[in-house]
Structure 1
Amino acid sequence: MLVLRLLWQVPLSLFVLVTALALANEYAIARPSRRTKDIPYLAANVPGFNPERHILDVYSPRHKATAGYPVVVFIHGGSWDSGNKNIYTFVGRRLAKQGVVAVVINYRLAPTVEVPAMADDCARAVLWTTEHIAEYGGNPNRVFVMGHSAGGGLAALLATDNRLFAKVGLSQNPIKGAILDDPAGVDMFDYLKKMEYPNDQQYLVPFGKDPAVWRDVSPLYHVNAGSPPMLLYVGERTYPSIASSTRRFDQKLQALGVKHTFSVLPGKKHIPMVLQLYWKNNVIYRDLLKLVGAG
């Protein structure tokens, strides 16, 4: 079994089940929220613009809040070469139902681009959010990031690498906190140097062959004492590489005094770590709502 086989590398039967559950949940919880689909977060004349990948959806509570709702930008997983915002409607709906404006994004994937460009896309989506989310009832000064698997690694990178926002013209990192759900790629520098598992060569497609780049896109090497608060969740039965890298990430956060929690969820494998987000009362949502100040 591949250690980093992520969300979209699953049997067809499971994919069908996930899709069916997503549609059922979409119907069941749609009424308390409003979904605005396929909003471009880049102008069409920007070099490299992709009309299918440079888009996002916004999920807003139907009732307005005087000060604006907290905002969570959700980044999907998929081994850096697959995945789509449309499968995660349940995340957007659940968050909006609980008093959070959710922004669920697409970004370009391998082999079209490598991870540094994916991180740039995510930063641009966050920039769009800070500039426009007030139009959808969100507070641009309360923006958080969240992701599962590869998306969790990208969310961690956004929270820790301030250079990503300097590149898009922001003097400060706007991220107020991060929710990392079984994140992959937290330390790809270590992972790709070792090449311990079968077929690890496949990750040279999204990450390239330069060890300096591997290190540059690994959040472990960017976290600092000024990094925002984080919620870090790992499945007890997740892939060994995710388990080991997140432990090192937790240790680094502790050493630097970054406010965070590290939770190992009993019995959970990698895919169920995101499937649990169908249910609003799971521990991730409970902790998230406290972190973002919803309610």
Structure 2
Amino acid sequence: MRKLLTPLLLALSTFLSACSPVGLLNALSPTDSYSKTANIAYGNDPRQQLDIYTPTQKKAGPTPVVLFFYGGSWNSGERADYQFVGEALASRGYVAVIADYRLYPQVRYPDFLKDSAHAFAWVHNNIATYGGDAQHLFVMGHSAGAYNAAMLALDPRLLAAEGLSPANMRGWIGLAGPYDFLPIKNPDVRPVFFYPNSPPDSQPINHISATVLPTLLIAARDDELVNPQRNTAGLAKRLRGAGVPVSEHYYDGVSHITLVAALSKPLRGKAPALEEIVRFIDSDAGRKP
């Protein structure tokens, strides 16, 4: 069996290195670990919708909730492409929520963050109907989505507009996120943040305080798209300097894209990202031994 699996993993890894994790990963992911409620509107725009994955097998006690934002340089992305993330989280007993948000050129900074905050508020206020515990609500994202998650956790103005605060989440999880990227080099991202007049307060690293929540940061060690030393390591250092508890991990053998793909069942052998996420959530972001 191992001889058969190895070529499959290599083929999947090669495919995902050049493509978004769509279609193939979802087709190979189990569907018996969750029930899915799709196309729930959290706002009036067609992009303001989310899907909920309720686990078939729940953990004892309160059921944690993970709100996930995908990447795509704030230019692209569809929640349906990340069914494998919903499955991964639901398979571990969590209610997973995957939200769309408006993208460039329809909107620019900070409107997609306002969408993220609005989605968070909807989940906080409604997730009990789907079996989740709003008192154990985590925010997670990959790449541009990790930026969105970081800003919800670090910039209290965003959730204040919804009558909430970062204290309404238990912790946040960032995978390969851009947290300190001025001046902007990526031509696809420049217009999103009004380059060359990008506002400094658009950067998560500029919103550090001792009140920030426990944080889990994960990155590919050789990420060629988002520099892990400047972004992940830099943010972790600043957070620790402010007394914020941070768990920080770097993996070999994965890229910017295959890091999130490693959450899928076919590619979990490539990096222990899901195990680290489970450890973080099950310890209540480090509050429990």
Aligned to 1:187: 180
Aligned to 2:207: 222
Give the counterpart letter for 2:73 in structure 1: S
Aligned to 2:123: 129
Over residues 32-77 of structure 1, what are the superposed CA-to-partner deviations in whole Å (9 max), with x where a residue is unaligned? Answer: 21110010012xxxxxx312x1000000013566743100000010
Over residues 116-166 of structure 1, what are the superposed CA-to-partner deviations in whole Å (9 max), with x where a residue is unaligned? Answer: 001110011010001010001100011111111111111111111111011
For 1:245 and 1:294, how far apart are their aligned partners in 2? 25
**Conserved in 2, the CA contact under 8 Å of 1:74 and 1:147?**
yes
For 2:97 and 2:62, how far apart are their aligned partners in 1? 14
Task: Tell me the TM-score normalized by structure 1.
Answer: 0.83
Correspondence 1:36 to 2:29: no
Aligned length: 267
The 1:264–1:217 alpha-carbon spacing in structure 2 relative to 1, beyond 3 Å, is same
For 1:149 and 1:238, how far apart are their aligned partners in 2? 11
Give the counterpart letter for 1:250 in structure 2: A
The alignment partner of 1:242 has SS state of coil
Aligned to 2:105: 111
The alignment partner of 1:257 has SS state of coil
Aligned to 1:6: none
For 1:148 and 1:13, how far apart are their aligned partners in 2? 15
**Conserved in 1, the CA contact under 8 Å of 2:53 and 2:86?**
yes
Following superposition, the deviation at residue 261 of structure 1 comes to: 1.3
Aligned to 2:45: 50
Structure 1 unaligned spans of 5+: 1-9, 43-48
The alignment partner of 2:124 has SS state of helix
Aligned to 2:274: 285
For 2:85 and 2:227, how far apart are their aligned partners in 1? 22
Task: Tell me the TM-score normalized by structure 2.
Answer: 0.85
For 1:180 and 1:171, how far apart are their aligned partners in 2? 19
List aligned pairs for 1:175-254, cutoff 5 A.
Answer: 175-184=169-178, 186-188=179-181, 190-192=182-184, 195=185, 200-209=186-195, 211=197, 213-239=198-224, 241-243=226-228, 244-254=230-240
Identity %: 33
The alignment partner of 1:81 has SS state of coil
For 1:164 and 1:134, how far apart are their aligned partners in 2? 23
Q: Cα RMSD (Å) of the superposition?
A: 2.5
Aligned to 1:156: 150
For 2:127 and 2:42, how far apart are their aligned partners in 1? 11
For 2:17 and 2:170, how far apart are their aligned partners in 1? 38
The alignment partner of 1:202 has SS state of coil
